[in-house]
Structure 1
Amino acid sequence: MVKNYFKLALRNLFKSRSTAFINIGGLTIGFLCALLIFTYIKKELSYDRFHSNIDHIYRVLTIDEALGVTSNLVGITLPALSETMKNELTTVENSVRISYNGRSLVEYNKVPLYTENMVYVEPSLFEIFDYELVAGHQPTALQAPNTTVLTETMAKKIFSKEDPIGKTIKIDNSTDLEVVGVMKDPSPFTSMEFDLLVSMVPTESDSNTINYLNSWSSISMVEYVSLSPSANIAEVKTKMEEIIRNNNVGDNFKVTLQPLSETHLSSSGILFDIFNANKGDINYLYTLAIVGLFVVLIAAFNFMNLSTARSANRAKEVGMRKVMGASKRQLALQFLSESVVICFFSLILSLVGLFVTSSFLDFGIDQNLFIYLIGDTTTVLWMIGSVLSLGVIAGLYPAFLLSGFSILKVLKGNFKTGTSGVWLRKVLVVVQFTASIAMIIGTITVYYQLDYLKSADKGFDDAQILSINLGDQSLRATGERFKNRLAQIPDIETMGLSGSMPGRQVGRTGMLPEGSDENDVWIVSTMGINHEYFDLMGMEMVAGRNYSKEIKSDSAAAIIMNEAAVKAIGWDDPIGKKISQGPNEKTVIGVVKNFHFANMRHQIEPIILPYQPTALSNGVLSLKIRQENLKNTLQKVEEIWAEVNPNYPFEYVFFNEEFGRQYENDENFASLIVSFTWLAIFIACLGLIGLSMFTAEQRIKEIGIRKVLGANIKTVVLLLSTEFTKPVLAACLIATPIAYYFLNEWLSGFAYHVDMPWIAFVLASLLAVIISQLTVSFHAIKAATSNPVHALRNE
């Protein structure tokens, strides 16, 4: 019986080729979109899942509620906290502290190279997390001072084919480290990026490190704890608060826990999170999942629409089968089997499409997306189950509609039109275009917001600025000589020194403004600069003056702050006011216009910019270079670098490119949304093509009579087109409030965003109407221009 159903399904597919093409084509595209979205979501949800104990590992976060702070949640905490938690709380099984050092110079056999992500870490890292050593003794790795573990990639980069175990490398031209292990490269889907691990275990004489690890006076360490399965998280958080209060931590600091499973996707609002630089956004995944569901449903609705619309064409088949003894159940199963066959055939085609398109897509997966997806048995079973369910649901109404035809009506010829299910077809068209219009509105709004982020006044000019990191003290010691040599290059317009750059991490410091209560706790961001920095960045002074190298007291007794700091403090006239930092007091000499030194998702916070006139106190040298002779200028800069710093590779970054990378996730999200939106519209239009073709066929005699009675082509085309205009207009009305609600929620995630672009609603509605009319116009014009004799000759 099943074999017979399958044969009948295939026979009917070949019999109605145009309908089959539209159904299979639409479902194939819909499934392909869903597979791509599912693959992307699966990848994002897989972060850190290779750790077997992931459900019991938590990151320790700090909540900074001091005056002057608007972004309260930070990814670092008190150095002594996690170790104290392990010692005092029975539910804390283990802890690890990590200090991120980032880009560092590594030298072996006098050959220098850079490691991108060097970290100092306690040996308990290997007890909490599932990192595997392929060389070395894992139980004792990093337990001795001045030892290091390399990833396989870094080991090959430094030692080539040599055995690294027991070899000595030098970092930052200062410290010798013994290689005690080589670690298997971690999964790329990790919230912790590192390539070189250095033991944080101090020597007995290293009192500075010992005191630092026992410190309760700074917020500076990445920390994780492993809790017992029976741990009550709320109780642990309460105990954490008691611990920091007992150690005299300021009342403005609070602490909390974040599950490791949420670190990648739920950290967009966390600052000082550079160790987790490649973080995603759970809201984007929700949006993509909804889009994928919409696309598949639009394709499924096409199938339901065309099946019910063409019911009259199969009425006699149903009647004859009932006369021959077929039951309603058998007929329903036959039509359901056709639906399932179409769905599975579409799934196979979509998997082929996934295999082919994989090479053109960059999802950050180092294998073909098809192989990545079907390599998981659970995923394959879910895929089969979902497609089977969709086939049954999509075919359920058409199956019972077709199997329920009256034999007498059909065989007497009284069942002449496919009017059954007209109401459902109109509802489905409305739903299809509601989804499509909402997606168009969303796409336009996303691009408005991204364009705003790129073009909005950031408070500085980032064009043609080259940034060179002066990563260690050796480079900073030669920094002034290097800078003086660069001043001889005529195509370098301006140079400036700074402790960091906008878009990178800046520090925070305490202060007490004049006029504040002595018990107030003020913490503001801070970034050292020299007197040339504002000119380099094109920043505007709104009050007072810039620093001057001629005024010796500026470095010790003067300070410049931004407008946000002045506003937060509440000063009307800040020039001449004092701020205290411990025993030191500085006078405000200038106020710089607000500039975005963090991601534009965050509100501009107060920042002070202390004067650091030389390279010895700054980590970045930036150059403003003329565009006309860029290549030659870069070559000259590299030559001077090689002369001044022969032991260091020359590397640089263009500031505008670096600053723009913070919007990569938003841009990737926008690209995905645009692609799937157009595919959703295409699928909806495929359905309209089928329905308009069927409508023209069903009304061919009506059209013939109208033409005989004098109707012109324009009248006939309008008659057929109007049938589809009304549902599309209804979809516009429904989509508008839905899109407004969700987009308003999305925009609220940005501290700086565009107002809701109402032009997006108008454009989306016009686009939907135009596309729908263009889609149905072909068959409308064809029917309107046909010879009425062909339609009426059998009457």
Structure 2
Amino acid sequence: MINLIKNTYRSIINQRPYSFINILGLTIGLTCVILIILWIKAETSYDRFHKDHENLYRVNHILRTPKRMMNVGGINDPAGPEFKSKFPVIDDFLRFSPAQVNLKYQDDFHAVNMVYADSNFFSMLDFPLLSGKKKSCLSASDGIVISRSAATKIFGDQYPVNKIVEINNLKYVVCGVAHDPPVNSSIKFEAVALLSILENESYIGWDGGLTCQTLLKLIPGTDTEKLLDDIKEYLFEVVNERFIKSGFEIVPYLQPLKDIHLGSDTDFDFGDNGSWKRIISFAFVGLLILMTACFNFVNISTALSIKRSKEVSIRKIYGSGRKRLIIFFITESGLSILISLFLSLLLAKAIFQYFNILVGSELNFSMITGLEWFIIIFLLWIVCVFLASFYSAWYLSAIPPMAILRIHTGGKRRQLSRNLLVTFQFTLSISLIISCLVIYSQMQFIRSTDPGFSDENVMYIGLSQQAAPRSEIIKERLLSVSGIRHISRTTGGMPGLNFTSNGYMVEGMDMPVMSNAVYVDKDYIQTMGIYLDEGRGFIDNKGDRFNVLVNNTFVNTVGWEEPIGKTIVRNNKEYKVIGIVKDFLTGSLHNKIQPLFISQFNEWGDFSVIILKLDASPTIDIKFQIEKIFTEEDPGNPINMVMLSESLRSQYDTERNLNIAFFVLSLLAILISVLGLFGLATFSSQSRKKEIGIRKVNGALVQDIIKRFSSELLIWILIAIAVATPLTILIMRNWLTNFEYKVGISIWLIIAGGLITLLIGILSISMATFREANR
């Protein structure tokens, strides 16, 4: 072994440029693969830390209507207790509802991710407590449990238990402190209080009201298909028999808790779920990076076989058999790969925080510990040894001693195998470049797409329960602030973000229509810059109270030819259509524009959001004046000023970060390919010194030599383009299915990808040849 280490060291020193390229390429490749494996392991381990995760199921439902289906992550509030009492196989249930709240302690406010839950939240789920008892910490109606990070944020160094905090003018006593939820938890929280607080303020029933995340804990061995059939029968009795007559139906289904993060396809869900498509994409890129680095190793090692032929010959003459030579070369390569693996771990740790930023995660490098990771690293080393050294070791050991002594060139067969490997690398490079161009085009399309309303210099501010009844007074005061052009009020739905959804009976149809809805004041259309296609907007008139606007999609959905004057009924109230607004985004570009109902009659009570259209970006002075008015009109509650444009952009933050990560990984894969190509080109030009010398003596210019050498590469690039193009188009079309509104894959993107790859290849060859031709 010591001799092998010495020989490996001598080999690295004697072939410094090529050894550097091999080790650098493998180090970069292995670093990427280690980080990708870490991320994939975290993504696929979500919610599996709960000891009963195999028996925990969430009850989701699909709401069917004549014109639309909604897939909802959750179900109406009564489901949990009614199912538990009806079906013996349900051991327990847990309901919870996430919310963003402002928590007040003394005179300070803190934005907190709240979860309102049943009292068994901590006993049914495995979130360890630092203080308090799992079964009793939420037994008091005014009890609240906070996370460790929230305790530090709110109380500093003070002991938090028994401290009094306030949320929406309700006082709570801190009864416990929990560990922060792990990174791989779908359920995130900074504070947990009883769900009954929301139930006291909400309508509870099967025909609307509070919808909760409902988990069922089943007895081990339960037949979930039979249970689901029983649940469907029960729902038919209590709600669907009546609903179906009106064209509605609640269709429940059970989803394992462990599958929520990667398996959800719901319209409404908690958290930022992952995607199997994303995992497969990153795993595929990681595999390609590893293969590229290993093929570089193979290419350069087989090319160097000419220089090592005498060494192999002498070893064979002195009795080394083929098996022993294979073991020698594999061991030698294995030690080089081990060096790369060690360096890759150091590099992965050094850049880990930047990787977290790229993928929008909170992973910890300490996760790379324990026997499991030792096995992963060992298997990674084995795979690299097999891919990178087996072929070259087998190839060198197969040639007879006297034949090796006569070798002076690479031979056509060896050259062909190297060219095929280079073609594979070019295919990879072209695919990644075209993919990056398509992704960039789609993200630019998202940025430049006209949402159908004005989001520039639009600010919105949520109103507290105390301020909501005074929204009109606050609006009048804000109109006096210089720099504010228009002001409107709404019940909370913002264009491009979210709206509530209701069922409506429309003139000319027997069945109800599901539609997004927003309740606004008369200035909404002007403030948001929404275009009227037909009819008129709202006026400040009591007679306009039951007049409504609908969008073009609403009109097309119900099939109206002359929509003005048509009637819409909800909750026994009749509304008259007075105007048609041009379609604008009701959600993100991932989803279709939905039918929209816009009304001045606010059936939900007071307006909860004020929208400001500013003349320009908000200055410090404008923010100060706005804050002053809110402080006077709503003392004791914080003000949160949000720019609509920032909220719209934030919808794509996760996707944007992961696409940047994909872009960076692609660049690294291309860099590895370039390193290998440069090393191969350098060796090739050194091997053809005599040819270069003869051509120069015969009058060939340096550029002529470069042109000749580069032209030999052209055919392989063209083959790579032919292979990569259809494959990449297929993959990217599949990725674009994530968006309802998307770009096409232009022929110019394909041409650009091919030209960029061609340029990279020619530059690599030219640089290596130029250096040799000028000697």
User: TM-score, normalization: structure 1?
Assistant: 0.92
Q: Check the 8 A contact 2:455/2:528 in 1, yes or no.
A: yes
Kindly tell me: are residues 228 and 498 of structure 1, through their superposed partners in 2, closer, same or farther at Cα, counting changes over 3 Å? same
Partner of residue 261, structure 1: 258
CA deviation profile, 1:210-262 (whole Å, cap 9, x unmatched): 99556455562221112233123322322221121121233422111222222
CA distance in 2 between partners of 1:769 and 1:439 (Å):
14
Match of 2:372 among 378, 401, 417: 378
Kindly tell me: are residues 730 and 545 of structure 1, through their superposed partners in 2, closer, same or farther at Cα, counting changes over 3 Å? same
Q: Check the 8 A contact 2:132/2:176 in 1, yes or no.
A: yes
Kindly tell me: are residues 136 and 497 of structure 1, through their superposed partners in 2, closer, same or farther at Cα, counting changes over 3 Å? same
1:446 aligns with 2:439: yes
Partner of residue 521, structure 1: 512
- Structure 1, unaligned stretches of length 5 or more? 787-795
Q: Secondary structure of 1:118's match?
A: strand
Q: Secondary structure of 1:553's match?
A: helix
CA distance in 2 between partners of 1:311 and 1:161 (Å):
66
CA distance in 2 between partners of 1:512 and 1:672 (Å):
48
Partner of residue 8, structure 2: 9
State the identity as a percent.
29
Match of 2:523 among 523, 527, 532: 532
Tell me the CA shift for residue 120 of structure 1: 2.1
- Structure 2, unaligned stretches of length 5 or more? none
CA deviation profile, 1:401-452 (whole Å, cap 9, x unmatched): 10111112234x3555455522221111111111111011110101111111
Q: How many residues align?
A: 768
CA distance in 1 between partners of 2:153 and 2:403 (Å):
81
Match of 1:676 among 659, 665, 668: 665
CA deviation profile, 1:448-473 (whole Å, cap 9, x unmatched): 1111112111111111111110132x
Kindly tell me: are residues 311 and 414 of structure 1, through their superposed partners in 2, closer, same or farther at Cα, counting changes over 3 Å? closer
Q: Secondary structure of 2:58's match?
A: strand
Kindly tell me: are residues 362 and 374 of structure 1, through their superposed partners in 2, closer, same or farther at Cα, counting changes over 3 Å? closer
1:272 aligns with 2:265: no
Partner of residue 33, structure 1: 32
Q: CA RMSD for the aligned pairs?
A: 2.5
Match of 1:483 among 463, 475, 481: 475
Q: Check the 8 A contact 1:308/1:420 in 2, yes or no.
A: no
Tell me the CA shift for residue 779 of structure 1: 2.4
Kindly tell me: are residues 461 and 158 of structure 1, through their superposed partners in 2, closer, same or farther at Cα, counting changes over 3 Å? same
Q: Check the 8 A contact 2:46/2:186 in 1, yes or no.
A: yes
Deviating more after overlay: 564-573 vs 133-142: 133-142
Q: Check the 8 A contact 1:544/1:590 in 2, yes or no.
A: yes
Partner of residue 352, structure 1: 346
Tell me the CA shift for residue 161 of structure 1: 4.8
Q: Secondary structure of 1:772's match?
A: helix
Deviating more after overlay: 539-548 vs 621-630: 621-630
Tell me the CA shift for residue 84 of structure 1: 2.4
Match of 1:493 among 485, 493, 499: 485
Match of 1:132 among 113, 125, 128: 128
Kindly tell me: are residues 612 and 652 of structure 1, through their superposed partners in 2, closer, same or farther at Cα, counting changes over 3 Å? farther
Kindly tell me: are residues 478 and 702 of structure 1, through their superposed partners in 2, closer, same or farther at Cα, counting changes over 3 Å? same
Q: Secondary structure of 1:421's match?
A: helix
Tell me the CA shift for residue 330 of structure 1: 0.7
Q: Secondary structure of 2:349's match?
A: helix
Deviating more after overlay: 680-689 vs 710-719: 710-719
CA distance in 2 between partners of 1:139 and 1:369 (Å):
30
* Correspondence list, 1:205-354, <5 A: 209=200, 215=206, 217-218=208-209, 220-249=211-240, 250-251=243-244, 252-267=249-264, 269-273=265-269, 276-354=270-348
CA distance in 2 between partners of 1:231 and 1:659 (Å):
44
CA distance in 2 between partners of 1:605 and 1:540 (Å):
16
Partner of residue 185, structure 1: 180
CA deviation profile, 1:749-780 (whole Å, cap 9, x unmatched): 21111112322111110000011000110222
Kindly tell me: are residues 712 and 186 of structure 1, through their superposed partners in 2, closer, same or farther at Cα, counting changes over 3 Å? closer
Partner of residue 725, structure 1: 714
Match of 1:143 among 119, 139, 146: 139
CA distance in 1 between partners of 2:311 and 2:362 (Å):
45
* Correspondence list, 1:716-795, <5 A: 716-786=705-775
Tell me the CA shift for residue 45 of structure 1: 3.0
Match of 2:456 among 450, 455, 463: 463
Counterpart amino acid of residue 244 in structure 1: L
Kindly tell me: are residues 710 and 629 of structure 1, through their superposed partners in 2, closer, same or farther at Cα, counting changes over 3 Å? closer
Tell me the CA shift for residue 734 of structure 1: 0.5
Kindly tell me: are residues 567 and 332 of structure 1, through their superposed partners in 2, closer, same or farther at Cα, counting changes over 3 Å? same
Partner of residue 558, structure 2: 569
Counterpart amino acid of residue 627 in structure 1: A
CA distance in 2 between partners of 1:126 and 1:295 (Å):
43
Q: Check the 8 A contact 1:494/1:624 in 2, yes or no.
A: yes
Q: Secondary structure of 2:75's match?
A: coil
Deviating more after overlay: 699-708 vs 53-62: 699-708
User: TM-score, normalization: structure 2?
Assistant: 0.94
CA deviation profile, 1:44-101 (whole Å, cap 9, x unmatched): 334323322223222211112213435x21123122223222222333222111133x
* Correspondence list, 1:93-104, <5 A: 93-100=91-98, 102-104=99-101
Q: Which structure 1 residue ranges, 4+ long, deviate > 6 Å from structure 2?
A: 364-370
Kindly tell me: are residues 375 and 780 of structure 1, through their superposed partners in 2, closer, same or farther at Cα, counting changes over 3 Å? same
Q: Secondary structure of 1:617's match?
A: coil
Q: Secondary structure of 2:251's match?
A: strand
Counterpart amino acid of residue 505 in structure 2: L
CA deviation profile, 1:497-535 (whole Å, cap 9, x unmatched): 111213444211111110111xx2322211111111111
Tell me the CA shift for residue 264 of structure 1: 2.0
Q: Secondary structure of 1:509's match?
A: strand
CA distance in 1 between partners of 2:356 and 2:517 (Å):
37
Deviating more after overlay: 764-773 vs 135-144: 135-144
Tell me the CA shift for residue 732 of structure 1: 0.9
Kindly tell me: are residues 212 and 685 of structure 1, through their superposed partners in 2, closer, same or farther at Cα, counting changes over 3 Å? same
Tell me the CA shift for residue 280 of structure 1: 2.6
CA distance in 1 between partners of 2:96 and 2:392 (Å):
61
1:595 aligns with 2:584: yes
Tell me the CA shift for residue 160 of structure 1: 4.5
* Correspondence list, 1:44-123, <5 A: 44-69=43-68, 72-100=70-98, 102-109=99-106, 111-123=107-119
CA distance in 2 between partners of 1:366 and 1:270 (Å):
21
Match of 2:648 among 650, 659, 669: 659
1:622 aligns with 2:616: no
Q: Secondary structure of 1:594's match?
A: coil
CA distance in 1 between partners of 2:767 and 2:152 (Å):
63
